[in-house]
Amino acid sequence: MDLNPNNLFEQKKLATHNKSQPSNLSVSTIIAKVVTVYKVENNSSLFVGKYGFALAGDKESKHYQILLYGKNTILINYSLNKDFVYNVFENNCVEIITMTRWRLEFANIHDAVDFNSNISLILWKLNNPKIMFWIDLYYPIRNGVTAKFGSVVEVTFSAKIIQGKTIGPEVSNNYEDNKNLKVLIRNEGWEKSLMGVNVGTQRIIYIPAAEMGAWKILTDGHQSLCLIVNVKNVYEMEDDNAQVSLIMNKEIKIKLNNSSSDNVPNQNDQVVLNNINSSKKLLVETLSEELAELKKEHSKTIERLEKLEISFNEFKLNKSSSKDIIDLDLRKCLKKVYKSLIKEFPTDQSFTGNQVQFTIREIFYNYLSSQD
């Protein structure tokens, strides 16, 4: 059975099938998959058969439509709008509601994720691109722990910027880090988009510039962000606090210089854990505004070091006076401190405010001690 929509009917027919569609469109197929179709009536699913399921559109006019079609028939040719109902169900199923309620089952996870990824961007723009929007690409049966406010969700992620009408290049991911991002779900911020996930959920999240918080360091400050997360674990803080604390403590041990052991938090560890339990802060590995400020300081530090090098070279070309010797000692002192700061605060890691203050204090203390 030929389920290629371009072979089934011409673009002109595609564009004019609904009288409500605007004229002079150049509608083309965006994605098409084979699905098993069920018609839902009185809460019962009636088998219809295998059909093609396509998303088509004209990007310039922002007109999009979905089609459910066979070799010689079209079950649905529906123009999308902000009221269109598209629900992702467990495993590979979705449900759409036009004049009729349809349950569609994709052949495999890859087809489901591929189609849902393509339609998600359109649904976000049709609703309100200035508001955060998310949709599941896939999830297994929700028979385990599902995330709620106060849960900690452990995920891998891929972050891509939105460029105009399309999803742009990837700007960050943690696939090769050998450690997952742990997120505390709160009732504000982008974290609330992880409500309802369970282990195995793949979810796509569209975050506008005004709502992305610390993720903004990955953009130019005005772009939106497309975040794709794969859920690895969900922890309930009330029911599984000891296990979560252990996981947190291992992360803290990596980030802090003076962790005492794998299982017993020291004073600095406990401060972080208390912040987690009070829903104020999640992990030192979570992207933070402090990191953005630190990166700005790095650029300033590099400029200062370059100026110090120039000054030092100029000094060597001239005869020194007693004042020049004092200035040179000061330059050497600053240069050593700046290099220590760069070493202690690599740009690929994040830090809490307490860590920054503690580390800077230790750098100056150690330097002054070495001068005694």
Complete domains list, the chain, with CATH: 5-107 (2.30.29.30), 128-239 (3.10.50.40), 289-371 (no CATH)
As a whole number of angstroms, the distance between CA 132 and CA 205 comes to 7
Higher pLDDT, 241 or 150: 150
Q: Average the pLDDT over 350-369 and give the result.
A: 69
**Residue in 266, 237, 279, 277 with CA at minimum distance from that of residue 354:** 266
Higher pLDDT, 273 or 96: 96
CA dist 294 → 148, 272, 308, 367 (Å): 32, 20, 20, 21
Of all residues in the chain, the percent with pLDDT exceeding 90 is: 38
- Using one digit for the tens of pLDDT, what is the confidence trace for 53-100? 999 998 777 889 999 999 889 999 999 998 899 999 998 999 999 889
pLDDT > 60? residue 157: yes
- Using one digit for the tens of pLDDT, what is the confidence trace for 338-352? 777 777 777 666 666
Q: Specify which residues 54 forms β-bridges with.
A: 32, 67
How much is the pLDDT for 74?
Answer: 93
As a whole number of angstroms, the distance between CA 126 and CA 18 comes to 19
Side chain identity at residue 60, one-letter code: E
pLDDT > 50? residue 17: no
Q: Average the pLDDT over 110-117 and give the result.
A: 96
Judged by average pLDDT, the poorest of 22-36, 266-280, 350-364 is 266-280
How much is the pLDDT for 233?
Answer: 93
Assessment of whether the complete model's pTM goes beyond 0.85: no
CA dist 187 → 48, 280, 306 (Å): 42, 11, 45
- Using one digit for the tens of pLDDT, what is the confidence trace for 19-58? 455 555 677 899 999 999 999 998 889 999 999 999 999 8
Q: pLDDT band for 242, please (50, 70, 90 cuts).
A: very low
- Using one digit for the tens of pLDDT, what is the confidence trace for 288-324? 555 555 556 566 666 666 666 666 566 556 645 545 5
Backbone dihedral region for residue 222 (phi beyond 0: left; psi -120 to 50: alpha; all else: beta)? alpha
Residue 200 in contact with residue 272, Cβ under 8 Å? no
